[in-house]
Amino acid sequence: MIIRKDNKILSRSELIRSFVISNPDYYTAEFKKIGSKPSYSFSFNFFASLLGPVWFGMRNIWNYALAFLIIETFAVVQIVRGLFGNITRDALEKIEKIQSTIDFRNKQLEAAIQNNPDKVDVYERAIKSLELAMEEYVLDVQKIEASAVWIVVSGIALLIIIKFVQGIMANNILEKRYSEWLSNRLINPGMTTKNYLLSIGFSSVIMFFPVVHYSFPGFFAVMNDFPTHPEIRLASIKWVETIFDYAVIKGDAVFTAITIGIRSVLDFLELLFVKTPWIVIITTIVVLTALSAGVRTAIYSAGFLAYMGFLGFWVKAMTTLALLGTAAILSIVIGIPLGIYCARHQRFYSMIRPIMDFMQTMPAFVFMIPVIAFFGTGKVAAVIITMIFGGTPVVRLTVLGLRGVPETIREAAIAYGASKWYLLRKVDLPLATPSILAGVNQTVMLSLAMVVVASLIGAKGLGQDVLEALQYANVGQGILAGIAILFVALILDRVVQGRKRV
């Protein structure tokens, strides 16, 4: 095999030499043997077996280096513990504590014999019980000491096996990495001074401290607990509270405006769903479901709505729907335009993507704290929390859908004179619609997941029934309310996704 590089033709042996650096003749022969067979070809690397994780680290194959290092560390810990470690330390400490308690009880027994004979039997029984317990711990110490040999044997066996496995796998792994390097020269083959130092240092630290910690407990006191101080935590708490207090004072006008906007939408939807006669709401939802997903699904939706009405969940279900609708509408109105902008501006999307990751991974009870600090408790705060948790999928899937539009179609439209606005409306958005609808669906479903959490801060609805059922262990109420939440989710899912889900 030859490859042209810098106007020079390199042979296969020269390429392997530039990749492996050390012992190129050996690796040339081994790579040839491995590549000559379509199936597995046995090859054993003595140095990889001897050095283990250090060899893989020097070759910049860190995923295997870390896995083998963990296994080797465990094996070495077993060997050192069995040969030199204080494996009976915990049992001996318990024996010492029991012995000190027995000595104390003996003193109490002597005092009782002289001053309070009625308690002599009590102290004697307590001493006898403690002596029996100590005998059990003494037997445990003997068993642990007898098992030391088997601990050493298991550690040695594991170490031999993992060394053999590393030797067998090394050349095959390196040959695969060499093939990847041929097609992508950005891959670092390793064997540099940095790799030597990093591999040896990393392996030494990972190997040394666990061995000392598990084999000789308490040898390094600093390893028992992380060296910290309460003043650091108190200062951090004070610093965070100062920032939030400043933000609440300076941002009062902004938070008030956001509250008024959300409250306006929420009040309108509550008026629409709660105050409108139930027969109008049912008729509207059933007709929308029939138009979107078909008659059969509309019949199911009518049954779901009847379930909520007959069990007394109607008002709470409509309140939940208003709260959910507010959060979903605002998330979609903000998320789709934001996704469209991010799809065409990679740098901006790279900037806000960590923020969206934070919004999705941070537990709801954590970001509930700053929301309450800025907006207080109640339905507005519940809407904002729901938007934070459920608003990111519509952005991500809008970006994904727009970037998935074939460039050939866009180029054809541009060639026929399509403007940017026409291209967006007539080409990009229609082709990205399935992905965008999936994002809307995910936003609605994740918003429903926050119904119970939102009830903790004053949002009424079906979540309140579930919360009360948890507090008072009312199984029936909790199950029935949970099924009502499920039915609300199913109706919304069928309406949004339409015939794709029928």
CB 2 within 8 A of CB 10: yes
In 271-391, alpha helices (H): 278-293, 295-310, 314-344, 346-361, 364-375, 379-390
Residue 374 dihedral angles phi and psi, to the nearest 5°: -90, -35
Three-class secondary structure of residue 40 per DSSP: coil
Three-class secondary structure of residue 9 per DSSP: strand
Q: Which residue has the tokens 């959910």?
A: 324
Round the CA-based radius of gyration of the chain to a whole number and report it.
35
Q: Which residue has the tokens 């060899």?
A: 55
Question: What is the predicted pLDDT for the residue at 160?
Answer: 92
* pLDDT, tens digit only, all 502 positions of the chain: 444 445 556 677 788 888 888 888 888 888 888 877 777 778 888 988 898 899 998 988 888 999 999 999 989 888 887 777 666 666 667 777 777 887 777 777 777 777 777 777 777 777 778 777 777 777 776 776 667 778 888 889 999 999 999 999 988 888 888 888 888 877 888 888 888 898 899 888 888 888 887 777 767 766 677 777 788 888 888 888 888 888 888 888 888 888 888 888 888 888 888 888 888 888 988 888 888 878 888 888 889 889 988 888 888 888 888 888 888 888 888 888 999 988 888 889 888 888 888 887 887 778 788 888 888 888 888 888 888 888 888 899 999 988 888 888 888 888 888 788 888 888 888 888 888 888 888 888 888 778 777 787 777 778 888 888 877 778 888 888 888 888 887 887 777 766 544 4
The torsion region of residue 23 among left (phi > 0), alpha (psi -120 to 50) and beta comes to left
- HEC string of 359-419 equals HHHCCHHHHHHHHHHHHCCCHHHHHHHHHHHHCHHHHHHHHHHHHCCCHHHHHHHHHCCCC
Segments of the chain assigned to CATH 1.10.3720.10: 250-501
What's the CA gap between 66 and 266, in Å, rounded?
53
- What is the model's pTM? 0.64
Helix (H) or strand (E) holding 8: strand 8-10
Tokens of 303: 């049954």
Three-class secondary structure of residue 299 per DSSP: helix
Question: What is the predicted pLDDT for the residue at 87?
Answer: 65
Instruction: List 460's β-bridge partners, or say none.
Output: none
Question: What is the predicted pLDDT for the residue at 23?
Answer: 84
- Cα atoms in the 13 Å half-sphere on the side-chain side of 171: 23
Question: What is the predicted pLDDT for the residue at 165?
Answer: 92
What's the CA gap between 412 and 428, in Å, rounded?
12
* Homologous superfamily of 250-501: MetI-like (1.10.3720.10)
What's the CA gap between 387 and 298, in Å, rounded?
28
Question: What is the predicted pLDDT for the residue at 187?
Answer: 81
Question: What is the predicted pLDDT for the residue at 162?
Answer: 92
